[in-house]
Amino acid sequence: MPEFEIQHITRYIYESPVRDSANQIILFPIKDAFQDVLKQDLTITGNPHVDTYIDYYGNEVGSFTYSEPHMMLTINSRILVATKHRELPVSDIFPEQQWEDLKRLQYVVPYIDYLKQEYFEGLDQLREIVKDEKLKDGSPYQVALRFCKFVFDSFEYIQGVTTVETRLEEIWKLKAGVCQDFAHILTEMLRMEGIPARYVSGYICTSRNGMRGQGATHAWAEAYIPDYGWLGLDPTNNCIANETHVRLAVGRNFSNCSPVKGVYKGASNHKLEVSVSVDDENVLSNEEHIREAHITSIVSDTPKNSYQRYMEMMQQQQQ
């Protein structure tokens, strides 16, 4: 049973003092038969009281308010998690019966939410691809694996061309993005085929070279397989999400699983720094490795969408 030490630091830096910062955090790992939280230390600037509750999707959610004027807000989560390998589904037993079982789930709560598709320009194109990619006489498990590989093969992993607010039509047009974009496309494909699918946020905890998503929060999908349960699929790396993936939250999409979000009173310009460390020797004490992950600022220029940013990047590479 592997154990992982993970430190997740979120830091907001404001251009002038702000106050009445109200925040929601989903930084409490899921606890079930395949994942156990052995220890968690959560420190927040100002030491506010954190109220917790369980949301509709079963996630533990915290909320807190920091009223005093401040120039910086740091949320530091330090966890020790033990995971357990889960055996994979048997792929070729009664596939027709499994598809019939899935049809019945469209009327069962909570699977209804995980079957709702999101409309976007390109939906018809994706639907045709789903028809082509579906294996004749294949089981839901085999189809899910094929869809995962399709996303991995068809979309380019490029950091910075999308944000968490990028819509599906932009992702489809770009055929590029990062882990949350890959996960959104895969969940859409699975739902089209009647397989309940949910978005998962968490961490990838492996030393394997070439694995995308290390050193940051990660996202993948889970497909519901009859007689098995929820199967984790990581389309960013074309692999099963098993004991090396630590789950924070599940939901229909990113908005249900955002690790940190909130509002405050004050100037709109601010900088966001995010750092994730896994199994580092000094993971529970060293904060010097924080990297800048995203900068949000209000500028006078007309905002550019993801496609415009992508085309500019391609032009710069060609020069």
Q: What is the pLDDT of residues 222-255, one digit of tens each?
A: 999 999 999 999 999 999 999 999 999 999 999 9
Q: Specify the pLDDT at position 160.
A: 87
Distance CA 102, CA 204 (A): 29
Closest CA to 215 of 207, 226, 223: 207
Domain with 212 in it: 95-252
Lowest mean pLDDT among 26-30, 130-134, 195-199, 314-318: 314-318
> Distances from the Cα of 147 to the Cαs of 8, 193, 277, in angstroms?
31, 10, 30
Looking up residue 31, the CATH number of its domain turns out to be 2.60.40.2250
Q: In this predicted model, which residue has the larger pLDDT, 32 or 289?
A: 32
Looking up residue 104, the CATH number of its domain turns out to be 3.10.620.30
Q: Which token pair is 31?
A: 């606890």
For residue 190, being part of any structural domain is answered with: yes
The number of folded domains in the chain is 2
> Which residue has 């954190």 as its token pair?
50
Distance CA 111, CA 180 (A): 21
For residue 88, being part of any structural domain is answered with: no
> Distances from the Cα of 129 to the Cαs of 16, 93, 192, in angstroms?
50, 26, 11
Distance CA 203, CA 117 (A): 26
Q: Is the same domain home to 204 and 245?
A: yes
Q: Is the same domain home to 156 and 68?
A: no
Report residue 298's pLDDT band, with 50, 70 and 90 as the boundaries: very low
Distance CA 110, CA 251 (A): 11
Q: Specify the pLDDT at position 90.
A: 84
Q: Is the same domain home to 211 and 168?
A: yes
Q: Is residue 150's pLDDT more than 90?
A: yes
Q: Is the same domain home to 137 and 15?
A: no
Q: What is the pLDDT of residues 97-144, one digit of tens each?
A: 999 999 999 999 989 999 999 888 889 999 999 988 877 778 999 999
Q: Is the same domain home to 248 and 266?
A: no
Q: Is the same domain home to 244 and 265?
A: no
Q: What is the pLDDT of residues 34-56, one digit of tens each?
A: 999 999 999 999 999 999 999 99
- Averaged confidence pLDDT in the chain: 87
Q: Is the same domain home to 265 and 235?
A: no
Q: What is the pLDDT of residues 13-24, one digit of tens each?
A: 999 999 999 999
Q: Is the same domain home to 184 and 105?
A: yes
Q: Specify the pLDDT at position 215.
A: 66
Q: Is residue 68's pLDDT more than 50?
A: yes
For residue 89, being part of any structural domain is answered with: no
Q: Specify the pLDDT at position 223.
A: 98
Q: Is the same domain home to 248 and 102?
A: yes
Question: Which residues, in sequence order, are bridge partners of residue 247?
Answer: 202
Q: Is residue 301's pLDDT more than 50?
A: no
Q: Is residue 180's pLDDT more than 80?
A: yes
Distance CA 40, CA 47 (A): 16
Q: Specify the pLDDT at position 249.
A: 98
Across the range 54-60, mean pLDDT stands at 97
Q: Specify the pLDDT at position 209.
A: 65
Q: In this predicted model, which residue has the larger pLDDT, 57 or 210?
A: 57
Distance CA 292, CA 299 (A): 19
SS (H, E, C) 248-314: EEEECCHHHCCCEEEEEECCCCEEEEEEEEECCCCCCCCCCCCCEEEEECCCCCCCCCHHHHHHHHH
Report residue 300's pLDDT band, with 50, 70 and 90 as the boundaries: very low
